[in-house]
Structure formats: structure tokens, C-alpha cells
Amino acid sequence: MGLKVGVLGATGYTGAELIRYLVNHSGVEISWLTSEKFAGKKISEVFPQFRKFLDIECVNIAKLAGLDEVDVAFSCLPHGTSMHFVSKLLQKGTRVIDFSSDFRIKDVETYERWYKVKHAYRYYIEEAVYGLPEIYREKIRDARLVANPGCFATSVILGLAPLYSRGLIKEDSVIVDSKAGITGAGRAPSLEQHYSECNESVSSYRVEGHRQKPEMEHVLSNLGEGKANVTFVPHTVPISRGILTTIYTRYKEKGAEDGLIDLYNQFYIRDSFVRVYKKDKLPSVKSVRFSNFCDIGLGFQEGSLIAVVALDNLGKGASGQAVQNMNIMFDFPEEEALKSPGIFP
């Protein structure tokens, strides 16, 4: 009998990607799936790619109390909604990996200011572990509640963590430009995601500050000696999936560039899903699509460091990372169901 797993919100993009990983996992058994829109339909009817892999019926989330107990549940519900069902699961003794932002930010007032939602479960925030294995692996092992990081935040934190850990960055010098595919906006249709609206176009948004900015700054501040300040601007590009993040910063020590690639390699020496490129090589989205890898390349320009980070927003930016966290929590090999290269072309 494998590890029993449940998925809340299974028919969005992250839910479908999560199931794609889980059906190839040798140690899990998917016990139930919830969906509001597709309750009563088999998951293989909603997503035909799962025929002969998984044919169970999606149920309405209102029936959560009557569903079989599971060892771990993944919540792919939106912020503000997820917290209520996470609380119900924790009270039943279920360990939870939450995809929403509801438990990522430790300061409640900061969460409420950025997300415009009153937090109803403050007592779980302190308990929650930020689910970035490369930094919090040991805490994740014993966690009851893992707050799966945001996709943009994952790219920025992994791109900067080695520098902050050594105190090498000049204060207030970090500027980040991230370009993401349209699946990052979710599966529910909106005008901006229509093909004729987004095709052959690149657009920026939330230049006043993106909601994932506080989690980036919180984690990086904990790694460094003072408060991290990140100027972050996201852009939407007309691709289905993937993120390319370009980070511009200035370092404190003259000539530091000579050892920075070695620093990154050493920092991520235990992390099989972070790949640091050699000098003069930079990653692209096509190298990481449909994978759990995060690729990092470094460049230098007149005292500035440019870090280029590529990951799949549905893989390492969401569902792949969630499975990686589950593997750590339940003593599976960390690479189980995840160790496959990106799909090219």
C-alpha cells in the first residue's frame, strides 16, 4: 500500500501537472481529487492524457469531511480560500503542502496588506515551513504544513541565495526582470490570456510591486545580514509555460567575479535540481520545460553581476517542487518521479 494522497483543486494547471508527476511515483496512491467545476467527472474525462493512468472521479470540495483520510494532501486552491481547507485537513491529522500564498509570509499584517484578505488562521503561520528544499530541507522533513513557494520567488531566491549567504551584495542594488508564460495566470479564462490579446506581445504588470516580493525579501533577509530589498517587475510573454528571470545586482568586493561560479556550485552541491552553468553560458526556458530543474547562469558587466535563472513555472515553480517536498517529508528519494530532463524542442 502506497502513501495515500489527496488533491484539492485538481483540475487547474498546477493540479494537472501535479497528477502527471504523481501517477509516475512508485510510492503513492491517489485517493481523491476535488474540483468545483468538474465534480462528478472522471479526471481522465477532464484531462484525456490520464486515461489508463488515473480514472477516479472528482468530487465537490464540500464533501471533504467525508473523504478517506490521507497521509498528505496538496492544496491547489487560490489564496484566501486555501487556508480554510488546509485548517480542516490539519485538524484531521493530515500533513499538507499548500500551493497558495496563505502561509508563505510570516508577518500577518504584510500578508493582509499585499493580498487584501483577512487571515483567519494566524496560529498556523508560524508553524508553516517555506517549501524551498535547497534552503529549508531539514525543516521540511518534519513539517506538518509546507507553504510551497511562488514561482517567481523560487527563481529570484535561488538566483541570489549564494550571494546573500556570504554578504556579497551591495544594499538596495537588486533589480529583477522576470518573464513568464501565460499558465502563470491560472486556467480560469480572462481577457488578457486570450490568444489574440497576448500573442505577439510582451507586457509588464504590477510595477508598483508584485505579491511575491515580500516572500523573496523575507527569505533573502534571513540568509543575509540585513533586510533585503528587491525591485521586481514581472512580464507576460506568449509562451505556455516557463520563467526566465534576469537579476541585476552589484557586489561589494572588487574582483569577486573570479570565484562566484565556484561559490554557486558549492552552495548547491547537494541539490540535484539546481544546475549552474559554466562561464559564458546562460540558460533558456526550453532547457527546463516540463522538468523540475532550475538552471542558473552568471554574467558580469562593469562591477555588476547578472544572474539568469530559468525554470518551469508549473514544475520547479509549483507542482514539481511540491512533489520534491513530499519526497523529503516521507523519506522517498528526493528525485523520485522528478528526475527527467526538459522536453526539447
Q: Which residues are known to be catalytic?
A: 151
Tell me which amino acid residue 227 is: K
Residue 328 buriedness (CB in 10 A; 0-12 / 13-18 / 19+): buried
Partnered with residue 73 across adjacent β-strands are: 6, 96
Sole residue written with cell 523540475: 292
Element (H, E) at 301: strand 294-301
Q: Name the phi and psi angles at 83, rounded to 5.
A: -55, -35
Q: How far apart are CA 282 and CA 307, in angstroms?
A: 9
From 172, 191, 185, 288, select the one nearest 231 (Cα to Cα). 172
Distances (CA, A) of 325 to 6, 66, 145, 174, 241: 15, 26, 11, 28, 21
Please give the DSSP secondary-structure letter assigned to residue 248.
Answer: E
Cα gap 321→150, rounded to integer Å: 10
**From the centroid of its chain, how far is CA 223?**
19
One-letter amino acid of 245: T
**Share of the chain residues as helix, strand and coil, in percent rounded to the nearest 5:** 35, 20, 45
